[in-house]
Chain A
Amino acid sequence: MIEIKDLHKSYKMGSNSLHVLKGINFSVKEGELVAIMGSSGSGKSTLLNILGMLDELDEGSYTLDGVPIKNLNETKAAQYRNKFLGFVFQSFNLINYKSAMENVALPLYYQKVGRKERQEKALKYLEQVGLKEWATHLPNELSGGQKQRVAIARAMAAEPKVLLADEPTGALDSKTSYEVMDLIQKINDQGNTILLVTHEPDIADMCKRIVHLKDGVIIEDKKVEQVRASQYV
C-alpha cells in the first residue's frame, strides 16, 4: 500500500538547514495498523505530513497504492488526498459552524457526491461511530471524544485507502482515548490500513506494528501483540 524509499526532508530556518528526515525506508501493507512513535522533534509528524501529501519530500520516492507521488501541485495533491487518504488530527479540525453530519459529509462534497447520498452516507458513518443521535449537533456541543469520533467518521466517509491519524488521542483523557482506540481497532478489523502517530506507549501497544523514530531515522520497526482497547472501555 505504502512504499517509501530513502526519504529525506529538511527545513530551511533562515540560513540554517534543519535535516528532519534522514533516509527513511518504510513500507506498509494493506490492513496494517501502524504506530509511529518518537519524542518530539524526531520527525514523526513530518513523516505523516509527507505521507498525507500535506508536505513535499526533498529526496527519495513515495508510492501510494501503486501511484508514484511526486511533483504534486496543489490541485493534484487535493485530488489524491480526496481519493486515497483520510485524516484524523489531534485537534479534531471540525468546521465549527457545520453540524456533525455536515462535517462528515464534507469530503463527499469534494468527491462530487449528490447531497442526498452525502447525507445518507454521513449518517451511516456517524452510526458506525455511535453518534447517529448527535448528527444535527454542532462541534461545540460535543465532548472531546465525540468530536474525535466525528472526525474519524469524516475520515472514513471518503472511503480512503489509508487513514492517517496524527496524535488522535493527544487531546483526550485515558478513558476517552481508549474509546477512540477501540473505534480505530474496529475500523482496522474491517480491513482498513491505518497509520497513527503517537508518543504514548499504551496507545502504540494497541497497534499491530510500532515504528520508532529518533532524530530522523527509524531505529526500531517491530510487530507487536495487539492490546485490545475494548477491555479498558
Chain B
Amino acid sequence: MFDIERWQEIFDTIQKNKLRTFLTGLSVASGIFILVILLGFGQGMQNGIAAEFEQDAATSVWVWPGVTTIEYKGLNPGRRITLTNENYEFSTHLLEESIEYQSPRIFVRNVSVNYGKEALAYGIQGVSSQFQQIENAKITAGRFINYHDEISTGKVAVIGEKVRKDVFGDLETPIGEFIEISGIPFKIIGQFKEKEEREEERIYIPITTAQKAFNGRDRVNNLAYTLAPAKTFEETVAQAMQFKKDLKGYLQSAHTISPKDDNAIEVWSAMEEAKRFFNLTNSIKLFFWFVGICTIIAGVVGVSNIMLIVVKERTREIGIRKALGAKPWSIVGMILHEAIFVTALSGFAGLIFSMGLLEIVGPHIEVDYILNPSVNFNVAITTVFVLIFAGAVAGFFPAWRAASIHTIDALRDE
C-alpha cells in the first residue's frame, strides 16, 4: 500500500488507460451522486413538512363546533352547537396543566369596515392576547392585543401585513390610524406578519369588544390552545391525543352530545397531523434509502463488470508480467490497488460534487414540502467506504483468477 514504486506503476497504468479509468470512475461517482441526492431530498421533504407545520404553533389544538348527527338523550340530531365563554373558561381550568397558550376566537360577520371613505373587505376576528403565540404571528410594528385591551373592551385593532400594504401603503406607518367597524372607530395598534399571505388578510380586535360591540353575547366560534411540549416527539403526540380526548369529552357532556358523534365537536390537533406526515416522510426516506442502496448495488455490479473486462483485457499483459517475474500476489495486488484507488477517488469526487450541489442549490429550492435538502456527512462517507470495499471484493475474484491462469495460457491469449 505504501510502496512508492507500485504507486508509480499504477499511476502509469491509469494515465495510459484513461477511458477505462474514466468509465470505472463514472459508474462509482454516479452511484454515490444519486444516493446522496436522493438522501438529500428525503431529508429535504422532512424539513419541508416540518416547516409547513411551523406556520402555526406545532402543538396547537383547535376546536370547531358543528352540527349533531346522532340522537342523544331525547335531543334530535341536526342541532347546531355553539360554544360559549363558559366552555372556554371551564376547559382552560379543567386542562390547565397541559396548556401553554389559549385563546377563544369569534368571527365578526356582516359588518362594514371603512378607512376614511374606503370600504375594506377583510375578515374581522375577535381574539384574546395569547392568540398571537397560537398563530405564530410576528409583530412587525406596534403591539398585539393585550390583557388590558380585553378587560377594558378597548377599541383597538391589529392588522395583517397584506392589509397594511393594500390600504396603508402610502403611509409610513398605519399605527395610530383609525378604521371604522360598523361605524365604531378602532385605533390601529400593531401590524403582524405570517408565513401565509392568506393569514395576513385579517384584522384582529379584542374578543370582549367583538362580543359586546357586535352582539356576540357570550358566543365563541373557536377555541384554540397550544400545549407545552414534552421531552420527545412521541410523548408530545401522546399528550396531544390525551388532551384532545379530554377536551372533546368535556365539550360533549357540556352540550349533551353523544360520545360517538364526531361531527358536533371537531378537535383538530396539529401534533396528530404532524405525526401522520412524519410517518409518511419516514416511509419516503426509507424508500429513498432503498432506491439509493439499489443504485449502489448497481454501482458495485458495474465496478465488478468493468473489473472483469479489465482483467480479461489484461490477461496477456498479466502473462507477460508473470514471465518477467511477477508473483501471483503482486498481480492481484496491482489490480486491486488500481481498482481501490480509482473507486476511492471517484467515490469521493461523486460525494463532494453531490454534497456541493446540495449545499449550493439546496437552500434555493422553493417547492412546497421540500426545504433545504441536505445529507448527513457520516452517512455519505460510510456509503463511499462501503462502495470501495465492495469494489475491492468484486475486483478480487477476477484478479485472483487472472493471476492463477497458467503463464503460457495467458501469453497465448489473443
Q: Which residues of A contact B (CB under 8 A)?
A: 49, 52, 54-55, 74-75, 78-79, 81-83, 87, 89, 93-95, 97-98, 102, 106-107, 109-112, 114-115, 154, 158
Contact, CB under 8 Å: B325 / A158: yes
Contact, CB under 8 Å: A81 / B329: no
Contact, CB under 8 Å: A115 / B8: yes
Q: Which residue of chain B has the shortest Cβ distance to A92 in the bound complex?
A: B320
B323 in contact (CB, < 8 A): yes
B324 in contact (CB, < 8 A): yes
Contact, CB under 8 Å: B327 / A74: yes
Q: Which residue of chain B has the shortest Cβ distance to A166 in the bound complex?
A: B411
Contact, CB under 8 Å: B317 / A95: yes
Contact, CB under 8 Å: A89 / B411: yes
A75 to B13, CA, bound (A): 23
Q: Which residues of A contact B5 (CB under 8 A)?
A: 109, 112, 114-115
A55 to B330, CA, bound (A): 20
Contact, CB under 8 Å: A74 / B404: yes
Contact, CB under 8 Å: A78 / B325: yes
Contact, CB under 8 Å: B324 / A75: no
B253 in contact (CB, < 8 A): no
Contact, CB under 8 Å: B328 / A81: no
Which of A52, A89, A109 meets B9, CB within 8 Å? A109
Residues of B370-413 contacting chain A, CB below 8 A:
403-404, 406-408, 411
A55 to B327, CA, bound (A): 15
Contacts A78-B328, A98-B12, A110-B321 known; 8 new A-B pairs at CB < 8 A: A54-B406, A54-B411, A75-B327, A81-B322, A81-B323, A82-B325, A93-B316, A109-B9
Q: Which residues of A contact B13 (CB under 8 A)?
A: 97
Q: Which residue of chain A has the shortest Cβ distance to B8 in the bound complex?
A: A115
Which of B323, B327, B328, B403 meets A93, CB within 8 Å? B323
B326 in contact (CB, < 8 A): yes
Q: Which residues of A contact B330 (CB under 8 A)?
A: 110
* Chain B residues within 8 Å of chain A by Cβ, number: 27
- Among B9, B322, B325, B403, the one with the most A-chain Cβ atoms within 10 Å of its Cβ is B325
Q: Which residues of B contact A (CB under 8 A)?
A: 5, 8-9, 12-13, 16-17, 316-317, 319-330, 403-404, 406-408, 411
Tell me how far the C-beta of B174 lies from the nearest C-beta in chain A, rounded to whole angstroms. Answer: 78
**Listed A/B pairs (9) with beta-carbon separation below 8 Å:** A49-B408, A74-B327, A78-B325, A93-B411, A97-B13, A107-B324, A110-B324, A110-B326, A114-B5
Q: Which residue of chain B has the shortest Cβ distance to A84 in the bound complex?
A: B325
What are the 5 A-B residue pairs with the smallest beta carbon separation, nearest first?
Answer: A82-B325, A97-B16, A110-B325, A107-B324, A78-B327
Contact, CB under 8 Å: A81 / B16: no
Contact, CB under 8 Å: B324 / A81: yes
A98 to B323, CA, bound (A): 16
Q: Which residues of B contact A95 (CB under 8 A)?
A: 317, 320-321
Q: Which residues of A contact B408 (CB under 8 A)?
A: 49, 54-55
- Among B13, B321, B324, the one with the most A-chain Cβ atoms within 10 Å of its Cβ is B324
Q: Which residues of B contact A49 (CB under 8 A)?
A: 408
Q: Which residue of chain A has the shortest Cβ distance to B407 in the bound complex?
A: A54
Q: Which residue of chain B has the shortest Cβ distance to A83 in the bound complex?
A: B325
Q: Which residues of A contact B317 (CB under 8 A)?
A: 95
Q: Which residue of chain B has the shortest Cβ distance to A114 in the bound complex?
A: B5
A75 to B316, CA, bound (A): 18
If A54-B407, A97-B13, A98-B16 touch, does A78 touch B326 (CB 8 Å cutoff)? yes
Contact, CB under 8 Å: B324 / A106: yes
Contact, CB under 8 Å: A158 / B12: no
Contact, CB under 8 Å: A75 / B407: no
Q: Which residues of B contact A112 (CB under 8 A)?
A: 5
A55 to B323, CA, bound (A): 11
Which of B12, B316, B322, B411 meets A102, CB within 8 Å? B12
Q: Which residues of B contact A158 (CB under 8 A)?
A: 324-325
Tell me how far the C-beta of B4 lies from the nearest C-beta in chain A, rounded to whole angstroms. Answer: 8
Contact, CB under 8 Å: A87 / B323: yes
If A74-B404, A97-B16 touch, does A154 touch B327 (CB 8 Å cutoff)? no
Contact, CB under 8 Å: A87 / B16: no
Q: Which residues of A contact B12 (CB under 8 A)?
A: 98, 102
Tell me how far the C-beta of B351 lies from the nearest C-beta in chain A, rounded to whole angstroms. Answer: 30
Tell me how far the C-beta of B366 lies from the nearest C-beta in chain A, rounded to whole angstroms. Answer: 51
Contact, CB under 8 Å: B316 / A78: no
A107 to B327, CA, bound (A): 12
Q: Which residues of B contact A75 (CB under 8 A)?
A: 327-329
Q: Which residues of A contact B8 (CB under 8 A)?
A: 115
A158 to B12, CA, bound (A): 21
Q: Which residue of chain A has the shortest Cβ distance to B404 in the bound complex?
A: A74
Contact, CB under 8 Å: A79 / B328: no
A75 to B407, CA, bound (A): 12
Tell me how far the C-beta of A153 lies from the nearest C-beta in chain B, rounded to whole angstroms. Answer: 13
Contact, CB under 8 Å: B17 / A97: yes
Contact, CB under 8 Å: B328 / A106: no
Which of A54, A102, A109, A111 meets B323, CB within 8 Å? A54
Q: Which residue of chain A has the shortest Cβ distance to B3 in the bound complex?
A: A112
A55 to B411, CA, bound (A): 12
Q: Which residue of chain B has the shortest Cβ distance to A73 in the bound complex?
A: B328
Q: Which residues of B contact A109 (CB under 8 A)?
A: 5, 9
A74 to B408, CA, bound (A): 12
Q: Which residues of A contact B324 (CB under 8 A)?
A: 81-82, 87, 106-107, 110, 154, 158
A102 to B321, CA, bound (A): 12
Q: Which residue of chain B has the shortest Cβ distance to A118 in the bound complex?
A: B5
Contact, CB under 8 Å: A107 / B325: yes
